[in-house]
Amino acid sequence: MKKPIFLILIGIGVLILVGGIVFVVPWFGRMMEEMDQIHAQQEEHRRALEASAREPLTADQETLLSQLLEAAAETDASQSSNDLETVLSSEPYLTYLKTQEEQDYADFPAYIDAMPTDTMKTVAIARIKAMLGEDKTDEELIIWLNYYFVVREWGTTVENPLDNIKELHELQQTHLIEPLMENGSELSSFSIAIVQLSTSPTSITEDNNVFQEVWRERLETHGEPEGLLRCAVASPVEFALMRSFFADMAAFQAWILKPPEPEAQNSEK
């Protein structure tokens, strides 16, 4: 090979290397910055959500709880957690739900069937923005909203989303990636998209974990039926959403009482 050609090839190689450094290194740096920012947002979101979930009952909520406990005693709801839905279908609780939803429901099962309600969707959108930032278009928010509820329900069936990569990939592809691509979402913020895709499953299922932990403590402290009734009064919208993911109240209660994984227990200490 003649020397000039050899030098040209070396020059091309150097250009490729420099080009890679120029484009890849800044891209990687932006991705790491985005990851740090999103993790910080998620930590802040979790702390705020847990603080909200742990708020003590107000005086009005305590009064409602007393009424529900009286109704539970009359229906002997302590014999079966499924009978609790009869108590939650009583007039005091349905009136309480109307203050949360500004809508009438015939009974508690009807409220479950309506999930996710507009109120729950509004809450979820606020959480998505808190976790992922405010830069989503309305169309993208609708896609992320659907994905959020799909992951919330799926999260009740797995211990750790990252231990079920194949299922997770299929879920992301079907409910997030393909809809976003069909929507024509820009890939200019590709690094952000990668970080959000990688962190979103754990951050979304963490919402489940927060309420499960708080509700488990209430059940262990107050027993049945008071523990479940306290959960239903303290977080009515979230309680109904989570209940909608299960076949009946008994299955829902079993999930609440399921002990956390050893790693989760250690991290809580």
- Whether 5 is covered by a domain: the verdict is no
**What six digits make up the tokens of 79?**
């014999």
Q: Are 109 and 85 in contact (CB under 8 A)?
A: yes
| Rounded Cα distance, 203 and 125, in Å | 14
pLDDT band with cut points at 50, 70 and 90 for residue 17: very low
* pLDDT score at 176: 86
Alpha helices in 133-235 (DSSP H): 138-155, 165-172, 178-182, 190-222, 226-234
- Whether 251 is covered by a domain: the verdict is yes
Please tell me what DSSP assigns to residue 161. Answer: G
Q: Are 215 and 231 in contact (CB under 8 A)?
A: yes
Query: How far is Cα of residue 193 from the mean position of the Cα atoms in its chain?
Result: 18
- Whether 184 is covered by a domain: the verdict is yes
Q: Could you tell me which of 168, 165, 174, 169 has the C-alpha nearest to residue 143?
A: 174
Please tell me what DSSP assigns to residue 143. Answer: H
186 in helix, strand or coil? coil
* pLDDT score at 260: 75
Q: What is the mean pLDDT of residues 80-94?
A: 89
* pLDDT score at 79: 56
| Rounded Cα distance, 195 and 197, in Å | 5
* pLDDT score at 124: 95
- Whether 44 is covered by a domain: the verdict is no
* pLDDT score at 110: 97
Query: What average pLDDT is seen over the chain?
Result: 81
Higher-confidence residue: 166 or 189?
166
Higher-confidence residue: 54 or 197?
54
How many domains in the chain?
1
- Whether 171 is covered by a domain: the verdict is yes
Residue-number span of the structural domain to which 135 is assigned? 60-268
* pLDDT score at 213: 96
* pLDDT score at 185: 63
| Rounded Cα distance, 100 and 36, in Å | 35
| Rounded Cα distance, 218 and 107, in Å | 24
- Whether 201 is covered by a domain: the verdict is yes
Q: Is the pLDDT of residue 198 over 80?
A: no
CB neighbours of 75 closer than 8 A, spacing ≥ 6? 83, 86, 87
The amino acid that residue 101 corresponds to is E
Higher-confidence residue: 108 or 264?
108
- Whether 8 is covered by a domain: the verdict is no
| Rounded Cα distance, 96 and 262, in Å | 38
Alpha helices in 223-261 (DSSP H): 226-234, 236-243, 249-257
Q: What is the pLDDT of residues 21-44, one digit of tens each?
A: 444 445 455 556 666 666 777 788
Q: Which CA distances in Å does 23 have to 14, 20, 26, 106, 156?
A: 14, 5, 6, 59, 41
* pLDDT score at 80: 64
Q: Is the pLDDT of residue 230 over 60?
A: yes
- Whether 192 is covered by a domain: the verdict is yes
* Residue % of the chain over a pLDDT of 70: 74
* pLDDT score at 181: 83
